Structure 1
Amino acid sequence: MAKMMVSPMQCQMGFPSNSLQGRPMITSKMWNSLLLNAQRPKTRRGISAFKVLAVKSENGVVSRLEDLLNLDTTPFTDKIIAEYIWIGGTGIDIRSKSRTISKPVEHASELPKWNYDGSSTGQAPGEDSEVILYPQAIFKDPFRGGNNILVICDSYTPSGEPIPTNKRHRASQIFSDQKVIDEVPWYGIEQEYTLLQTNVQWPLGWPVGGYPGPQGPYYCAVGADKTFGRDISDAHYKACLYAGINISGTNGEVMPGQWEYQVGPSVGIEAGDHIWCSRYILERITEQAGVVLSLDPKPIEGDWNGAGCHTNYSTKTMREEGGYEVIKKAILNLSLRHMDHISAYGEGNERRLTGKHETANINTFSWGVANRGCSIRVGRDTEKQGKGYLEDRRPASNMDPYVVISLLAETTILWQPTLEAEARAAKELQLQV
């Protein structure tokens, strides 16, 4: 914030003489207090439409909402606030509510189960609306600080059955299989997202009702005419690090107003927990900034890149000597279950996977080395070293990470095609395995 220097003469100008009658003049002490408040470092920054300001006077203090939000309760109580987070009825909407816990906890198993009104989230009928939350993973709360936590939960009926939108339960079964455990599956997930102006639902930085210049200058760019929303991206980056999310990087994307961050490498179901928590944090930050978060895979039709959630994947045998042959066998299996994966890789993905803008056509499976126009990309280093990982470029930005990571493990580790199907696919893909 820039300082504004005002001379005594300027302070005396522009006020009718009768407007000051009966009112105390601003003393030097009060003026210094105002300046100190303006210069005080802020712990929260944002493009918020709602600000609470306060002036410290000689007669008392007007409490600021910001002071209360940043209040550290640890010296006064052992109690903490746990924010229970779950996935709503659309399978992509995030819900949460808070409760007090008597003391700090180290693991989700120490937390009580809770319930919510499933009829209000599209997950239960009104006459039997109670849905039970099972705490599964905890993260430090970057908004409340202290010992307060964010709690990733999944949802069950009162009798203990997972509800249909609970994709974590099935994923946990796959990742509990000994064959999968032995392969130590690693995931690196690239979450793309678009920032929209609140009132017009148009990308941040775009002229209302109009378009910026063609794509080209915006990817990993710097400058006010090319980059829109960096403060949000940076705030999210730091908040994720604070929370304990395994975020590994971020960058501006090809379409202006679009960003990406990467989470991983993460092992097994942890990858899904970290992505969902990172999405929750991003929703909270955009809420505070007065910007709308979109995970639509093609937010703007036309000659603009869509938004994906590319998933990098490897197993223990892929990372060892001779792993390249294991990768090619995995690609073969993925080709045979292409439509099974596509059907589970996000809503609206057909608008993104057109064969243009660094995508493969949704109806055709393909793979290639260093080819971003393929369904599965293998890196140059992986080919050169004969081991490494593959990148599944098909998942949409709104995919459920529990579904994607468990499908990849199931298809490449647990599922075995017939010899005839394997031979036919190998010939079509020109794979020697």
Structure 2
Amino acid sequence: MAQTLVPSLHCPKGVVCNSRRMVSTKLWNSLLVPPQGPRSRKVGNAFKVLAAKTESSGVVSRLEDLLNLDTKPYTDRIIAEYIWIGGTGLDIRSKSRTISKPVEHPSELPKWNYDGSSTGQAPGEDSEVILYPQAIYKDPFRGGNHILVICDCYTPAGEPIPTNKRARAAKIFSEQKVVNEVPWYGIEQEYTLLQTDVKWPLGWPVGGYPGPQGPYYCAVGADKSFGRDISDAHYKACLYAGINISGTNGEVMPGQWEYQVGPSVGIEAGDDIWCSRYLLERITEQAGVVLTLDPKPIEGDWNGAGCHTNYSTKSMREDGGFEVIKKAILNLSLRHHDHISAYGEGNERRLTGKHETASINTFSWGVANRGCSVRVGRETEQKGKGYLEDRRPASNMDPYVVTSLLAETTLLWEPTLESEALAAHKLQLQV
């Protein structure tokens, strides 16, 4: 049979084909000139079989087989992925260890340590930082009984290190007055997907801009929606892990997405958001896309990225709760600068008074007004109870800081009578 020497055919992603190969003339012609009629489908199948038989494709297949192995029939041991927050306050770190059997509570897990000098959290001469397991989630990447473990960080003497924001939040949420009010949080995490090599939003022409904002929010279509597979994969991964994710949507700026987590109670809100961010980092890593939580990734007439935080207490959710909400808003107005300073790096580039934001320098609130610092829903006003939405937090905020600060300001902090009266007068003028 006659044979033809040809260059390598285009192979699937992840498969390295030989640069030269011998194929029969008949097969080569069948690949170049698809047969007429219904037989054309068979050509595609034949090519797939040919590609699957390459040596490198076999390697990929065997690797996938190993990654998907179910270890439960052979061992009780599981893999626990210990996750913590690094020195920048945004970098998520993790490493794996074997646990002798499945566990149901963080207290069953051992403490662990890591090299804090490599994460900017300890000096080289005393680099050991201790990981305390705090929350467990199912691992959607490994499956089975394998788990993800949210940890916070301590010195060997048992003191929280400076970047451990969870410890202080847990203390606030353990205050009896806070416990009695059962604080609920619904957090809207916005994020932007970037092309790997150029760090430019997904779907945007390299070095150029798409059409103006308008057709992209909650949009459908190849020319309007970029990154849906990542959003959907993340949605399912969160559900599998046990995170109380409540929805997702495409955002106003193309290449930007949002998901919502909640209602979560107290410290669980911070744990859920950090675990969801870890999942998103892993999924974008696998997709070859860069994730950014920058609050204003593209300067100019483009929406920034926030992390709007919906908040309510037991008293706010009961009859007469609207008056409690207004008292909480008054307290928030008096500590506006304290909150702004803790609501994320670079937030001044986002809170300009444009693009559905309030000015960073002025506190405001309103019903159904997305240009305010704090928004109250129309339904809350009508029912006389419900929740408030703090629209100030940036997309890169620390959820432990924001959630605990909201509880502290509205439940534990008491303003002076004079400042309270002055603030009440100012807020009354806004409405």
TM-score (norm: length of structure 1): 0.88
Alignment of 1:275-314 (within 5 A): 275-314=273-312
Query: What is the match of residue 28 of structure 1?
Result: none
Instruction: Tell me how far apart the structure 2 counterparts of residues 245 and 388 of structure 1 sit (CA, whole Å).
Output: 23
Given that 2:187 and 2:261 are in contact with CA atoms closer than 8 Å, whether structure 1 keeps it comes out as yes
Which amino acid letter does the alignment assign opposite residue 204 of structure 1?
L
Report the CA distance between 1:36 and its aligned residue.
11
1:121 to 115, 119, 124: 119
Q: Does 1:227 pair with 2:205?
A: no
Structure 1 CA distance for aligned equivalents of residues 418 and 28 of structure 2:
92
Question: Which residue of 88, 91, 94 corresponds with 1:93?
Answer: 91
Structure 1, unmatched stretches of 5+, are 1-7, 16-30, 39-50, 56-61
* SS at 2:375 equivalent: strand
Alpha-carbon offset, residue 9 of structure 1: 7.9
* Contact 1:297–1:398 (Cα < 8 Å) also in 2: yes
2:425 matched to which residue of 1?
427
Percent sequence identity is 86
The alpha-carbon distance between structure 1 residues 276 and 373, as it changes in their structure 2 partners (threshold 3 A), is same
1:29-87 CA-to-partner distances (Å, cap 9, x unmatched) read xx98964997xxxxxxxxxxxx96228xxxxxx86211111111111000000000000
Aligned partner of 1:127: which letter? E
Evaluate the alpha carbon distance shift between residue 383 and residue 52 of structure 1 in structure 2; reply closer, same or farther with a 3 A threshold: farther
Report Cα offsets for 1:187-206 as digits up to 9, x if no partner. Answer: 00000000000000000000
Equivalent position amino acid for 2:137 in 1 = F
* Runs of 4+ more than 3 Å apart: 12-15, 31-38
Q: CA deviation at 1:13?
A: 3.8
- Alignment-derived partner of residue 54 in structure 1: 58
Name the CA shift for 1:200/1:405 in 2 (closer, same or farther; >3 Å). Answer: same
Q: Deviations over 1:88-114 (max 9, x none)?
A: 000011000000000000011100000
Aligned mates of 1:37, 1:332 — CA distance in 2: 66
SS in 2 for 1:399: coil
Q: Which amino acid in the other structure matches residue 271 of structure 1?
A: A
Q: Residues 51 and 57 of structure 2 are in contact (CA less than 8 Å); yes or no, is this contact kept in structure 1?
A: no
* CA gap 1:63/1:379 in 2 versus in 1, 3 angstroms: closer
Residue of 102, 105, 116 corresponding to 1:104: 102
CA distance in 2, matches of 1:345, 1:308: 10
Q: Choose which of 121, 137, 140 in structure 1 pairs with 2:138.
A: 140
Whole-Å separation in 1 of the counterparts to 2:336 and 2:133: 33
Would you say the 8 A contact 1:323–1:386 is kept in 2?
yes
Q: Which amino acid letter does the alignment assign opposite residue 292 of structure 2?
A: S
Cα 1:269/1:36, change in 2 over 3 Å = farther
User: SS in structure 1 opposite 2:332?
Assistant: helix
Work out the CA distance in 1 between the residues paired with 2:61 and 2:315: 60
Letter paired with 1:54? G
Residue matched to 2:78? 80
Count of residues in Structure 1 that have an aligned counterpart in Structure 2 = 393
Quote the Cα distance in structure 2 between the aligned partners of 1:285 and 1:143: 9
| Distance (whole Å) between structure 2 residues aligned to residue 168 and residue 36 of structure 1 | 54
**Counterpart secondary structure, 1:412:** helix
Aligned partner of 2:248 among 233, 247, 250: 250
Matches within 5 A, 1:141-180: 141-180=139-178
1:416 equivalenced with 2:414 (yes/no):
yes
1:418 counterpart letter in structure 2 = T
Contact 1:216 1:254 (8 Å CA) reproduced: yes
Query: 1:358 and 2:362 equivalent?
Result: no
Query: Residue type of the partner of 2:261?
Result: V
Deviation per CA, 1:349-398, whole angstroms, max 9, x where unpaired?
Answer: 00000000000000000000000000000000000000000000000000
Asked if the contact 2:357–2:391 (Cα under 8 Å) also holds between the matched residues in 1, the reply is yes
Task: Classify the secondary structure of the residue corresponding to 1:155.
Answer: strand
Deviation by residue 1:140-196 (Cα, 9 ceiling, x = unmatched): 000000000000000000000000000000000000000000000000000000000
- What CA RMSD, in Å, does the superposition of the two structures yield over aligned residues? 2.1
Query: Taking structure 1 as reference, are residues 364 and 63 closer, same or farther at Cα in structure 2, changes over 3 Å only?
Result: closer
1:181 and 1:423 map into 2 onto residues whose CA distance is 28
- Shift of the 285–308 alpha-carbon distance from structure 1 to 2, 3 Å rule, reads same
Q: For residue 11 of structure 1, what is the aligned residue in structure 2?
A: 27
Equivalent residue, structure 2, for 1:65: 63
- Pick one of 338, 341, 344 that aligns with 2:339: 341
- AA partner of residue 322 (structure 1): G
**1:77 is paired with a residue of what secondary structure?**
coil
1:52, 1:67 → 2: CA distance? Answer: 14
SS in 2 for 1:78: coil
